[in-house]
Amino acid sequence: MAGYNKQGIMLINKPQGMTSHDVVDRVRHKLGMQRVGHAGTLDPLAEGLLILLVGRATKLFARFAGFDKEYLGALKLGEVTTTGDSQGQLLKKNDYGLLDQERVREAFSHFEGEIEQVPPMVSALRVGGKRLYELARKGIVVERAPRKIKISTLKILDINIPHVGFYVKCSKGTYIRKLAEDIGQSLGCGAHITKIKRVGIGPFKLEEAIELDAIHESHLRNAAF
């Protein structure tokens, strides 16, 4: 069977603008096999580390999906969009003139540790058999129950109000765009995400990943089956 001996995982540096499924399709074509999946979606806006599971390694999805994730992010205060990111339509523009670095740092500190987060409408969660993002595209908003997540580390890297750069290490099920929105709401001016780069998944780091144009079966790593 073609591709039978191609097994394992592959670390890819996903470029911005592509869906995770686009990357999977590219690798399927390159390896000449269909049994390829990914272990955690990155939105088209997001870039960075994407773990692909090839052959029998596709059975290991739950193991990889359960790892903590690490991101570099950036948000913009004072603007609320339909999608919680810079690709959405502007809904509100609020004054942030009274904010200073101390208030921003204080707001961030409240989101470290175990918290509850309501999944955004622009997500792949299913409600009544429909993906939330499918409903959102139709302008439908439904109730979503909050879920417990853990923010192990939330560190501000730079502040140039209204822009804030940060690093976050978080549990599975954490939505970075929603984190940005919630921080903006806590400051009273709203916010949206402008950048998401995944730099770590469990023990795997972005520095180990290969560029999409350079993929080859020799980049497959062994995985325990």
Residue 2: inside a domain, yes or no? no
Flag whether pLDDT at 88 surpasses 70.
yes
Residue 205: predicted pLDDT: 97
Q: Within this chain, do residues 186 and 77 fall inside the same structural domain, yes or no?
A: yes
Mark whether 104 and 177 lie in a shared domain. yes
Question: At 32, which CATH number?
Answer: 3.30.2350.10
The pLDDT of residue 2 is above 60:
no
Residue 213 has pLDDT above 50, yes or no: yes
Q: Which of 22, 43, 85, 182 is catalytic?
A: 43
Residue 153 within a domain: yes
Whether residues 78 and 103 fall in one domain: yes
3-state secondary structure the chain: CCCCCCCEEEEEEECCCCCHHHHHHHHHHHHCCCCEEECCCCCCCCEEEEEEEEHHHHHHHHHHHCCCEEEEEEEEECEEECCCECCCCEEEECCCCCCCHHHHHHHHHCCCEEEEECCCCCCCCEECCEEHHHHHHCCCCCCCCCEEEEEEEEEEEEEECCEEEEEEEECCCCCHHHHHHHHHHHCCCCEEEEEEEEEEECCEEHHHCEEHHHCCHHHCECCCC
Residue 43 annotated in active site: yes
Percent of the chain clearing pLDDT 90 (strictly above): 69
Does 132 share its domain with 166?
yes
Give residue 1's pLDDT band: very low, low, confident or very high (50, 70, 90): very low
Structural domain harbouring 104? 69-201
Q: At residue 21, does pLDDT exceed 60?
A: yes
pLDDT digits (tens, 9 = 90+) for 136-189: 666 767 677 899 999 999 999 999 999 999 999 999 999 999 999 999 999 999
Number of domains forming the structure of the chain = 2
Q: How confident is the model at residue 69 (pLDDT cuts 50, 70, 90)?
A: very high
